[in-house]
Structure 1
């Protein structure tokens, strides 16, 4: 059978997805409380041959030599000087720090020993330090408390929340602090200012009197300060109302919370005291997993903003068919952010019956200047999507909230993909895109571990290049709480001043 599938199966799946997608999947109540579970199977060695378009498999790196599932989760990047690193989270295997300066030969340089589950990652800089956050969904457990982060930060087995780690020296990661959140940290997001952290607990049962987003002030990373539990709406007769994931606009004035049975638009002009200005309750979305905006100009030069909401159908439970949950699109231009208008939904063109492995949309990254998206689709591997038509789709007077596209439509076109027989990709992102559209993409896979793929750009053409920002601190930067370095910054001026005073005094004595 071809990748598109038999026409009858294609029609059947399209009809099912359009009409009964919210009903097909029973909620996986326990799926997120200790992190996702691998559902695909592998042999003693991971597969190296698969199926794709405009993409090739490049390399794989294992987190352990067990020959079993590697439990990869989130992935982020940092560039320090001439070196580039991928930061790969895991379910209780610690934070993997991987040198990707030579993408075809990734090399692990360190592991931050923190045996907690979920491992969502954010990276930012503060006062000369390169910092990362690392989440514990549910409690850290006995293993987490006994691992290095638990010992350094004096964590108990029943603690839950987010660890902050210093990666200024990638080969020697250092524990900084811990932000306790009783309901756990499924995901957390750093405000663009680097001064606030928003926590998403993603619990299917409301954690308190009402659902909430926990906000911390992290302007002093060694001494994080609790700000508030910001209440969000409760959605009755739903599988949950807690925030699952949050994305900030580039200027930090807006946040978009995918909160299981709802998606919220927040005014975060004052990040310590946000305000809800819009809400989406869409029965076609089973589990609102991630909500990311993109702003582009349409063919008439009018700027439009579209919010892309992923449906992690059934909370990543094992599937009976593909493509599972898709991407739901809403026009939030101008006043529409208070009442978002749906313009359609997009699904991966992967039609198949499943033997129990998960198949649904998951972690994505949007590259606005390049008008591209990368996304992980669990058993259906990794995918590259052209978003260049989204603004025109939003502007179309015939835009229809019931419009459904499989691979091409509603302003989006799949331009590359790669699927391996043992794929179980949790996240897929890149840190660098060439002008010809080509890039190395990095997948963190529940079964396979760390994978490198290359998209050749042949199906997209020239784009604006994406270059990683150099986060390496300047030699003269003041490093808060870094012991000897901070002392030297203070001692050197004092020593110079003392020497000058000594010389002045000596000159006065000579002339007396």
Structure 2
């Protein structure tokens, strides 16, 4: 274990996870592989988390993403070998987190839903849909969670095969909406090897393209997350764009994160990058899951926690967005039987505690003076 400006509060021994989320004093863990589906803990005392409930997962599927708000929990259903047409999202009543109650299962075509955002009423999801090539953007209204209603969708022109659109990417990677994030009346959408898109959703029924930018193929990593910083920094609006260190188009050094200036949002401009110090020593290719994965979707100030796969937790300060600096880290011990960590997701709670999940095994609860 290696650490700086961080301290381990507690380690939860549980199956590996794809996402962690904290709502109040309740921790939700979405697991990578069946039979583990979702686990719920009480973290009122973070030194002694208390198991509240587990939800099993069927073979051939995973529910590795989870979000909770307004006493609702949403988990994804994505095929990892299961039959097409049975994926989507499951919606639970978690007003009593120890007794989650299934409200409904909302289903889509194809493999189902990958990643999503949820604000307590609207879910911003990345489903596969019959008639479309790859995942698209969709907005669901859960005002009545028993009857989700689609209120809007968006896709890159060319994805709607059933609508007669000409498919232009025969010599490129299939488009795939990976992760929509809502801030205000905008959706910030990562689209894998097709880059980032900013959508105006002031009219949710008709999402409208504001701008886009793609760093591939010059840098052959897929775009994972587009995270706007809520406050301006040095009078500028900043977008953090994390590439994921998987699915590389050719052997390459580890993935890193970009800083974009979106003050003029019709013209996003990359102004800096950040890589873990000394990770890319000479430009040589390294194995997948060595570099960047994603930032916390919750932010406090200018220091952003990142899950950096084999490099664990990295705390990066964007106070100067032209020169982001690492100000702390926590590299956990590898999961049993593994030779290095695989930190997959990270979030913050209202107390400033950090939750870091390994995709193979375990959740680390970490504190840092940077979030006091």
Per the TM alignment, residue 157 of structure 1 is displaced from its structure 2 partner at its CA by: 8.2
SS at match of 1:351: coil
Aligned to 1:445: 358
Aligned to 2:274: 346
- In 1, Cα distance between the equivalents of 2:320 and 2:77? 38
Q: Please identify which structure carries the higher strand content.
A: 2
SS at match of 2:265: helix
Query: Where do 1:76-115 residues align within 5 Å?
Result: 76-79=21-24, 84-91=25-32, 92=34, 93-115=36-58
Corresponding residue to 1:218 among 134, 139, 142: 142
Aligned to 1:417: 329
- In 1, Cα distance between the equivalents of 2:89 and 2:333? 34
1:173-206, Cα deviation, whole Å (9 max, x unpaired) = 010111212131111222x4x4332221489xx9
Q: Please identify which structure carries the higher helix content.
A: 1
- In 2, Cα distance between the equivalents of 1:424 and 1:316? 17
Query: Where do 1:155-170 residues align within 5 Å?
Result: 159-170=86-97
Corresponding residue to 1:247 among 175, 181, 201: 181
Is contact 2:38–2:63 with CA below 8 Å preserved after alignment? no
Is contact 1:211–1:232 with CA below 8 Å preserved after alignment? no
Aligned to 2:338: none
Query: Where do 1:46-445 residues align within 5 Å?
Result: 50-63=1-14, 70-79=15-24, 84-91=25-32, 92=34, 93-115=36-58, 116-125=61-70, 130-138=71-79, 141=82, 159-183=86-110, 184-190=112-118, 192=119, 194-201=120-127, 208=132, 212-234=136-158, 236=169, 237-249=171-183, 251=184, 253-260=185-192, 261-283=194-216, 284=219, 286-299=221-234, 302=235, 304-315=236-247, 324-333=254-263, 336-351=264-279, 356=287, 358-365=289-296, 367-390=298-321, 393=322, 410=323, 412-422=324-334, 423-433=341-351, 439-445=352-358
Is contact 1:196–1:272 with CA below 8 Å preserved after alignment? no
Per the TM alignment, residue 59 of structure 1 is displaced from its structure 2 partner at its CA by: 2.2
Per the TM alignment, residue 113 of structure 1 is displaced from its structure 2 partner at its CA by: 2.9
RMSD: 2.9
Matched pairs, number:
345
Per the TM alignment, residue 263 of structure 1 is displaced from its structure 2 partner at its CA by: 0.6
Per the TM alignment, residue 139 of structure 1 is displaced from its structure 2 partner at its CA by: 6.4
TM-score, normalised via structure 1 length = 0.62
Gaps of 5+ in 1: 1-49, 64-69, 142-155, 394-409, 434-438, 458-462, 466-512
TM-score, normalised via structure 2 length = 0.83
Gaps of 5+ in 2: 159-167, 335-340
- Residues 443 and 354 of structure 1: CA distance in aligned 2, closer, same or farther (over 3 Å): farther
- In 2, Cα distance between the equivalents of 1:88 and 1:427? 10
1:46-81, Cα deviation, whole Å (9 max, x unpaired) = xxxx11211223322222xxxxxx2211011112xx
- Bigger radius of gyration among the two: 1
